Structure 1
Amino acid sequence: MNQVQIDELNKKFPDKDPTEVLTWFLNEYGDKVALSSSMGAEDQVLTDMVLKIKPDARIFTLDTGRLFPETYDLIDRTNKKYNTKIEVQFPDHNQVEEMVNSKGINLFYDSVENRKLCCGIRKIEPLKRVFKTLDAWICGLRSGQSITRQSIQVVEWDENNGLVKVNPLAKWSESDVWDYIKEHKVPYNPLHDKGFPSIGCLPCTRAIQSWEDVRAGRWWWENPESKECGLHKR
C-alpha cells in the first residue's frame, strides 16, 4: 500500500466509530491482520470491539518475562470472558541470557542504549516474528498519550516493518476509553486504579501523580523524547 492509498483511507475514516474502522480492516485483510495488545486499557477496548466483530480474530501479546503479576492475571481473565486464546509471544531465551549475563539483570537503568537493547530483545524481535505473517496490525495508540504520539493518524504506513498500521482509537480521549470500559464491562488491569495509566514491564513502570502525563511512569528516568520502546518508531 502506498501513501496515496493511506491518505485515501484516512479521508474515509476521519470521524468514524472505531468499530467501523475495525470492521473494514478485519473484512479486507482477513487472517493477515491482527491486534497487538499490551493488555492496557486501550487494547482491552479494542479486544472487546474486535471479538464482537470477529470472534476468531487474531490477537497477540508480548511476554517480556518482566511483566506485572496483574498483567498475567488479566490475560487469563480476558481469555475466559471472551472464550478466546490470546497468542503469547516470548523473546528468544538465548538472546535474553546473553544480554543479562553480559550487562546485568537491570541493565536498562544504566543507559538509554541498554534500555533500548532490552526492549529490542524482549519486545521488538518477537514482534517482528509475528509481523512476517501479517499485512496489517491494529494497536491502541491515541494522539493524547504523549508528545511522541501527537501526530498519529487512524491509518499509517509502518515503514520500518512494511505493514499497514491501524490506530482506531487515535482520536479518542482517555475518558472515551474508560466510558467504554465501564459501559461494556471490559476487564482491565487493577493497576489502573492505583495510579498506573500506562503499564509495561514491572521494573520500568511506576505510578504517576495526577498532574503528570499519562506515560510519565514509563521509563521515568529518561527524557520524554526518548520514551518509546521501538514498537512505534516513527
Structure 2
Amino acid sequence: MENIKAALEGLDAAAAMRYLAEQFPGAVAFSTSFGQEDQVVADMIWRADLPIRVFTLDTGRLFQETYDLMDLTRARYKKPFEVYFPETASVEKLLLEKGPNSFYESVENRKECCHIRKVVPLNRALQGVKVWITGLRAEQSENRQGLEALEWDESRQLYKYNPLIHWTYDDMMEYIKVHKVPYNKLHDKGFISIGCAPCTRAVEPGEHPRAGRWWWELSKKECGLHG
C-alpha cells in the first residue's frame, strides 16, 4: 500500500485514477450517487476515457430529479453506467413486516433499510473489485475528516481511493462551472447531500451540509456504505 501511495504523490485526481486503472486492469470501479462530487469524478473518468467501471445504486426511493440527472448524464457523455437494485425478496419482507416508512421509527430500523437498499447491493457491485473509487470529501462530515486519499477497506478487502477528499466545496463548484458538469437541480433548492427522497430535506442557511440527511436523528449520520 505504501508503494501505491508513493506513486500517487503529486498526481492530480484524473492522473491518479489512470495510474490505478493501469495497475489493476479491469478491477477498478467508481460508485456514483449522482451528487455533485460524484458528477465531478465521473466527468474526470469519462473525459479521459479511463477504463474504470461506473455504477450506481437504485434504492427504489430516489428523487425524480435524480433519475432526470441519470438521463441527462447518459445523454451528455454517451457512456454506460451499471445500476444495482436491492434484492426483491428482502424489500418485500421488510415492507410486509414493518411497512414502507419504518426508518422513521428508530435508528435501528433506518440502518436496516439502508443495509437492504444500499449496503447489500454495493457489496454485490464490488465483487471482484480491487480499487473502489468514491466521491467523498473531508468537509462533508466529521466522520470523513480523518480519511486519506488512499485507504485499505478491511471488511471488503480492497483499496478505497477518494480523489476529492481534500477538495473544498468551492473547488468542486469551480470544476462544475468550468467543465459545465450536469448536476441535480435539487442542489439549487438547498439540497446539499441528496439520498433517498423520504430521508432527505433541504438544508437551512448555516446548517451543516449533512443536516438534511436523516434529519430526525441525532446520531452518526452514515448509511453503512462508508462506515
Normalised TM-score (structure 2): 0.96
Give 1:133 shift: 2.5
Letter in 2 for 1:98: K
Deviations 1:83-108 (A, max 9, x none): 11211100001100100110111010
Equivalent in 13, 32, 35 of residue 37 of structure 1? 32
RMSD over equivalenced CA pairs, Å: 1.3
Distance 1:91 1:51 in 2: 26
Note the C-alpha offset of 1:31.
Answer: 1.4
Aligned partner of 1:191 in structure 2 is: 186
Distance 1:72 1:166, change over 3 A: same
Aligned counterparts of 1:11 and 1:172: Cα–Cα separation in 2? 20
- Check whether the contact 1:141–1:167 (CA below 8 A) recurs between aligned residues: yes
Q: 1:222 to 1:231 in 2, by over 3 A?
A: same
Quick check: 1:227 aligned with 2:221? yes
1:108–1:114 CA contact under 8 A, matched in 2 = yes
Equivalent pair of 2:58/2:83 in contact (CA under 8 Å): yes
Contact 1:51–1:82 under 8 Å retained in 2: yes
Question: Aligned with 2:25: secondary structure?
Answer: helix
**In 2, distance between residues paired with 1:158 and 1:166?**
10
User: Aligned residue for 2:196?
Assistant: 201
CA deviation after TM superposition for structure 1 residue 151, in Å: 0.4
In structure 2, how many angstroms separate the alpha carbons of the residues matched to 1:38 and 1:115?
A: 19
Q: CA deviation at 1:9?
A: 3.4
- Establish whether residue 64 from structure 1 lines up as the match of residue 59 from structure 2: yes
Q: 1:119 aligns with which of 114, 119, 126?
A: 114
Post-superposition CA distance 1:174-205 (Å, at most 9, x none): 11111000100111000000001110000000
Q: TM-score, normalised by structure 1?
A: 0.93
> What SS class does the counterpart of residue 113 from structure 1 fall into?
helix
- Which AA in structure 2 matches 1:68? F
2:5 is equivalent to residue 10 of structure 1: yes
Distance in 2 of aligned mates of 1:151 and 1:9: 19
How many Å apart are 1:212 and its aligned residue?
1.1
% identical equivalent positions = 50
Count the aligned residue pairs: 227
Counterpart CA distance in 1 for 2:11 and 2:169 is: 17
Q: CA separation in 1, counterparts of 2:192 and 2:72?
A: 19
Q: 2:75 aligns with which of 80, 85, 110?
A: 80
- Contact kept in structure 2, 1:56 and 1:84, CA below 8 Å: no
CA distance in 1, matches of 2:24, 2:7: 17
Aligned partner (choices 85, 93, 98) of residue 93 of structure 2: 98
Preserved contact between residue 193 and residue 213 of structure 2 (Cα < 8 Å): yes
CA distance in 2, matches of 1:14, 1:216: 33
Report the Cα distance in structure 2 between the residues aligned to 1:76 and 1:156, rounded to whole angstroms.
32
Amino acid at match of 2:222: E
Structure 1 CA distance for aligned equivalents of residues 137 and 189 of structure 2 = 21
With over 3 angstroms needed to count, the CA separation of the structure-2 counterparts of 1:21 and 1:209, relative to structure 1, is same
Letter in 2 for 1:100: L
